[in-house]
């Protein structure tokens, strides 16, 4: 298919597709001649993933480029490749290690890891962006006066672990390796809005159950 058709089938304007091509989020089509390029179903799939990353996941274009580069890097093993893709994601700045709250948060987070026996996560604790994000989030909560400690975090950690088991079971259902990596990214990025929405719905439900509409 040509650019116009790609645009129509994806619902993304040609101008924006050109922009993504320019930014390296989308591989160029097969050049037929100087003025025509041919795109295929893979391009369409990738374009939809790009849109999902940017619109749903609110991932900056530059970050999306990195994530996708890792998704495409077949020289890496699965965990690494997946990890590399996910590690390119977070948009969280390095927390200030000298800050008091940050150190306290770090301590509580590590305690959670320990009590759950998350040895892998622990061994990566200094480099994993997810770990960094968690420390930053907990530090913010504490700074606002909410004493989020390991005790409070544990039940949430257990719940999210069970969610992760579901995620990976779902990823397993994919056949090809490439699809698995892509699915894992989708699971990380796109399940999150769904989880967040479910969380809020559940809050509404539970709140109405407890207090009615007083």
Contact range with a copy of itself by CB under 8 A, out of 16-24, 32-40, 41-49, 63-71: 41-49
- Say whether 34 sits in a helix, a strand or coil: coil
* Contact between 166 and a copy of itself per CB under 8 A: yes
Q: What is the separation of C-alpha 198 from the centre of its chain, rounded to a whole number of angstroms?
A: 17
CB-CB neighbours of 203 under 10 Å: 10
**Alpha-carbon span 137 to 105, nearest angstrom:** 9
Contact pattern for a copy of itself over residues 7 through 26, marking x by CB under 8 A = --------------------
The tokens for 63 are: 């970050």
- In 3D space, the residue among 64, 62, 123, 130 whose CA is nearest the CA of residue 95 turns out to be 130
CB of 177 to DNA, least distance (A): 29
* Contact between 13 and DNA per CB under 7 A: yes
* Contact between 30 and DNA per CB under 7 A: no
Tokens 């058709």, residue? Answer: 5
Do residues 46 and 12 make contact, with C-beta atoms less than 8 angstroms apart?
A: no
* Contact between 163 and a copy of itself per CB under 8 A: yes
Interacting partner of 186 out of a copy of itself, DNA, none (Cβ under 5 to 8 A depending on kind) = a copy of itself
**Alpha-carbon span 178 to 181, nearest angstrom:** 5
CB of 83 to DNA, least distance (A): 23
Q: Tell me the number of residues near a copy of itself by CB under 8 A.
A: 80
CB of 22 to a copy of itself, least distance (A): 23
Q: Pick out residues in 61-100 that bind DNA (CB under 7 A).
A: 61-62
CB of 10 to a copy of itself, least distance (A): 10
Contacting residue, 40, 55, 158, 208, with DNA by CB under 7 A: 55
Contacting residue, 27, 30, 40, 60, with DNA by CB under 7 A: 60
* Contact between 107 and a copy of itself per CB under 8 A: no
* Contact between 56 and a copy of itself per CB under 8 A: yes
Provide the H-helix boundaries in the chain.
3-10, 14-23, 41-51, 61-72, 78-87, 100-116, 119-123, 129-143, 150-172, 177-189, 191-211
With a CB cutoff of 8 Å and minimum separation 6, the contacts of 6 are 12, 17, 39, 43, 44, 47
Which residues here bind DNA, judged by CB under 7 A? 2-4, 13-16, 18-19, 21-22, 28-29, 31-37, 54-55, 60-62
């Amino acid at each position: 298919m040509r650019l116009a058709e790609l645009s129509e089938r994806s619902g993304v304007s040609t101008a924006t597709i050109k922009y993504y091509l320019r930014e390296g989020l989308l591989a160029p089509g097969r050049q037929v001649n100087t003025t025509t390029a041919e795109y295929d179903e893979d391009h369409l799939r990738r374009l939809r993933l790009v849109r999902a990353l940017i619109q749903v996941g609110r991932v900056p274009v530059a970050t999306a480029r990195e994530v996708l580069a890792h998704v495409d890097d077949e020289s890496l093993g699965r965990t690494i490749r997946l990890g590399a893709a996910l590690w390119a994601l977070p948009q969280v700045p390095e927390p200030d290690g000298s800050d008091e709250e940050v150190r306290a948060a770090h301590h509580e987070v590590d305690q959670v890891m320990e009590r759950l026996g998350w040895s892998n996560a622990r061994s990566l604790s200094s480099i994993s962006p997810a770990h960094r994000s968690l420390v930053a989030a907990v530090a913010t909560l504490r700074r606002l006066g909410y004493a989020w400690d390991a005790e409070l975090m544990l039940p949430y950690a257990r719940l999210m672990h069970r969610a992760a088991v579901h995620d990976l079971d779902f990823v397993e259902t994919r056949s090809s390796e490439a699809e698995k990596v892509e699915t894992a990214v989708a699971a990380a990025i796109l399940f999150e809005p769904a989880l967040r929405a479910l969380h809020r719905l559940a809050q509404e439900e539970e709140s109405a159950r407890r207090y009615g509409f007083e």
